[in-house]
Amino acid sequence: MSDDLKQKAKKYSTIRQNASLTESVLKFILLTVFIISGYTKYLENILSGFTDNVYMILIMYLFVIIMINSVIFFPYDYYFGFKLEHRFGLSNQSFSQWMKEKFKAFLLGIIITLPLILIFYYLISVTDLWWLYTAMVVSFYSVVLAQLAPVLIFPLFYKFKPLENENLREKIISLCNKNNFRVSGVYSFNLSKSTKKANAAFTGFGRTKRIILADNLLNNFTDDEIITVFAHELGHYRKGHLLKNLLLSLVLIFTTFYISNVLYKLLLPVFGFSASYEIAALPLLALIMALLSFLFSPLSSYISRKFEFEADRFALETTLNIDSFRSTFSKLTETNLADEEPNKFVEFWFHSHPSVKRRIEKASDIAGELGLRKA
């Protein structure tokens, strides 16, 4: 990357990181004020005047909270989610397209999460072991969603079609066969309708397992570079990262719910609540879980970065092409305006992927071990 582009990427990454942190802190503060001020009880009391059905009260309560949050943070979301992307030349969306996608995601989020919330509320109302049963439901729900996402959810946002580049498709299938990896199909999708960024991934489980390649990647990268990206993704499967991530997620889910339950019981009387199933008390539980998620971030980020390095090694061992590896990640860095060398603390706490500089340095060491020619 040129010095100008490096500065641009660092500025973009810094703004996005600061914006995300600021938004999280503001939401935490506002929710805390909402609880301490007593407005959460006031809102529940008002809604209780419309119906005696506690589940309808819960739904109305959540609707009011969501709408207030949407109104307060819309200007923030508009600037950092829409204007910023255009300012740095990354977005291909018009404002109407952006709003349409936001609304679609909003509705989908409600459809997906509302059943979980109702199940959770039933469990917290009838048993002290709500945290255990809820964690079990969330874990099961997550696995089902991961399996259904490629065929039911992703097509709501992008158009998928079988990869038309037969030569590239044959190379990918050949690589899969050599590694005893069965996949239901190789697809391209129109990521360019939203952004200039490039991406690729494996999605789904079992019969829905498929390879998806963004049209931006297919149009702007060579076949060798795309194979490098694919080999990296294949490495995640061959190294068992999918199962390991699933197990890690399960551990974090159960741990988070258990600790949340303990802290929730301790803090309920402090904030003037008498029962864990009080609707007005639920924001307190949300605060506790959000804080725990933040505290667990370094652990999950560290493990994710470790897996990325392992997948990089697999890609190099499979393709034996260090030049392609370097050019691929250099292009991805430029295309996605990624910061080559982010702040070490920020990378440690938040980044699920190692910095590009570290990845290329590590790749050069691996290339030396493998006896590959250095550029």
**pLDDT tens readout for residues 138-191:** 999 988 888 888 888 999 999 999 888 888 988 888 888 888 887 777 889 999
Band of pLDDT at residue 4, cut at 50, 70 and 90: confident
Residue 1 CA to residue 338 CA, distance in Å, equals 11
Residue 328 CA to residue 93 CA, distance in Å, equals 26
Residue-wise pLDDT for 214-253, tens only, equals: 999 999 999 999 999 989 988 988 898 888 988 899 999 9
Q: Which residues contact 81 (CB under 8 A, 6 or more apart)?
A: 98, 102
> In this structure, what token pair is assigned to residue 144?
């089902």
- CB neighbours of residue 172 within 10 Å: 22
3-state secondary structure of 186: strand
Band of pLDDT at residue 2, cut at 50, 70 and 90: confident
Angle formed by the axes of helices 282-319 and 3-36, nearest 10°: 160
What 3 state SS string does 193-217 have? HCECCCCEEEECCHHHCEEEEEHHH
Per-residue CA distances from 335 to 6, 55, 345 (Å): 12, 47, 24
Q: Is 177 exposed, middle or buried (0-12, 13-18, 19+ CB in 10 A)?
A: exposed
- Under 8 Å between Cβ of 186 and 210: yes
Which has the higher per-residue pLDDT, 57 or 152?
57
DSSP code of residue 187: E
- Under 8 Å between Cβ of 309 and 354: yes
Once rounded to an integer, what is the mean pLDDT over residues 347-357?
89
Q: Is the pLDDT of residue 374 over 60?
A: no
Once rounded to an integer, what is the mean pLDDT over residues 105-125?
94
- Global confidence as pTM: 0.87
Once rounded to an integer, what is the mean pLDDT over residues 317-326?
91
Q: What is the dihedral of CA 284, 143, 116, 64, to 10 degrees?
A: 70
Nearest to 124 by CA among 112, 115, 133, 111: 133
- What pLDDT does residue 285 have? 97
160 phi, psi to nearest 5 deg: -110, 140
- What pLDDT does residue 373 have? 62
Residue-wise pLDDT for 11-35, tens only, equals: 999 999 999 999 999 999 999 999 9
Q: Is the dihedral of CA 224, 230, 236, 239 positive or negative?
A: negative
Once rounded to an integer, what is the mean pLDDT over residues 53-60?
96
Q: Which residues contact 211 (CB under 8 A, 6 or more apart)?
A: 172, 183, 185, 186, 187, 200, 201, 202, 230, 233
- The answer to which of 71-75, 205-209, 367-371 has the lowest mean pLDDT is 205-209
Residue 272 CA to residue 289 CA, distance in Å, equals 19
Q: Is the pLDDT of residue 51 over 60?
A: yes
- Under 8 Å between Cβ of 224 and 165: no
- Under 8 Å between Cβ of 282 and 31: no
Domains of the chain: 3-159+235-370 (no CATH), 160-226 (3.30.2010.10)
CA angle 244, 248, 249 (to 5 degrees): 115
- What pLDDT does residue 375 have? 43
> In this structure, what token pair is assigned to residue 181?
């990896």
